Structure 1
Amino acid sequence: MTQDRDIHAYLAEFDDIPGTRVFTARRARQGYQLNQFAMSLMKAENREHWKADERAYLADWKLTDEQKQAVLDRDYTKLLDLGGNIYFLSKIFSTDGQSFLQAVSTMSGMSLEDYTAMMIAGGRSPEGVRSIKGKN
C-alpha cells in the first residue's frame, strides 16, 4: 500500500469479500459495547444474571436496539455486521452451551453435519464468487 492511498478506502475494499467480515477499526468502534457485553459473560455471576433475565441484563449495556435484538435472536451473522468480534461473541454461545462449531454452522446456512463435513474436507472452495461487486 502506498502512502498516498486513503486507508479508509483501502479498508472499505474488504467489504467486497463475499461471506467475510474483516474486523477493522471501524467495526471495533461500532461493536465496542457489544463486545464488552459479550466479554462480561466470562464471569460466572454475570452468566447467572444473563440466564435469569436476558433483557434486563442487556438493559445495563449501551447497545443499539439492533444489537440487542440480534443478541436475543442469536443472529451471529448480524452481530458480526454490527461490530461483533467472533471471539468475543463466543462467550454468548458458550453460555448457551453451544460449541464454536455449532454456533458458526448457524451462520453458514448449512446443517451442523454438513458444515462439519465441509470443514473436515478442507473448508469452502476458493472457486466461485470472489467479489460482491464484480460477481466473479
Structure 2
Amino acid sequence: MSIQDIHEYLAEFEDIPGTRVFTATRARRGYHLNQFAMSLMKAENRDRWKADEAAYLSEWPITDDQRQAVLDRDYNRMLDLGGNIYFLSKIFSTDGISFAEAVSTMTDMSFPEYRDMMMNGGRSPEGNRSIREGN
C-alpha cells in the first residue's frame, strides 16, 4: 500500500457520521489532553482539579482550544481535538456523571432519550453511512 493509499484509507474514517475514529493523528494531537485526563485516576489529582480546574489545567501543555473544551465539558470538541473517550471518562467520572449520561451530552437527545435508544438496539445505520453522500 502506498503512502497515498494510506492517506486515502484514513480519510475515509472522517466520513462516518457522528463518529470520530481514534487514529494515530488524533492520538498525537491529544496526547497531553489524554494524559491530563488519566491523571484524574489519582485521588490527590482529583482533589486539586476540583479545587481549581483552571490552575490544574495550566500545568498541562494542552492547547487553548483543548483547555476551553475541558472547562466547557464539550466532549465532542475534546474528541475532535484528540481526546480518547476512555481517557476522557476520567473527567466525567470525577464530575460524578455516568458514562452513558456523559455520552448522551454528545447527542441531540436527553439522557432518558439516549438511554431508551440504546436499550432498543442503538442508532439505526439508515441515513448514517456517509457524511459526504448525505446518508
- The answer to whether TM tops 0.5 is yes
- Please state whether the residue corresponding to 2:96 is helix, strand or coil: coil
Unaligned stretches of 5+ in structure 2?
none
Matched, 1:38 2:8: no
Written as runs of structure 1 = structure 2, the 5 A alignment for 1:19-98 is: 19-98=18-97
Provide TM-score, normalisation by structure 1: 0.96
In structure 2, give the amino acid aligned to 1:125: S
Question: Residues of 2 paired with 1:133 and 1:61: CA distance?
Answer: 36
What percent of counterpart residues are identical?
73
Provide the C-alpha distance between the structure 2 equivalents of 1:111 and 1:76, rounded to a whole number of angstroms: 15
Q: Aligned letter for 1:60?
A: E
> What corresponds to 1:126 in structure 2?
125
In 1: Cα distance, 2:8 partner to 2:81 partner: 19
Deviation at 1:42, TM superposition (A): 0.2
Deviations 1:2-31 (A, max 9, x none): x23521221111001110000000000000
Unaligned stretches of 5+ in structure 1? none
Cα deviation, residue 133, structure 1 = 1.0
Corresponding residue pairs, total: 134
TM-score (norm 2): 0.96
Shift of 1:129: 3.5
Matching residue's letter, 1:18: P
The two structures, once aligned, show a CA RMSD in angstroms of 0.9
CA distance in structure 2 between the partners assigned to 1:60 and 1:129 by the alignment: 39
Cα displacement (A) at 1:134: 1.2
Distance 1:45 1:130 in 2: 44
Separation in 2 of the partners of 1:90 and 1:60?
20
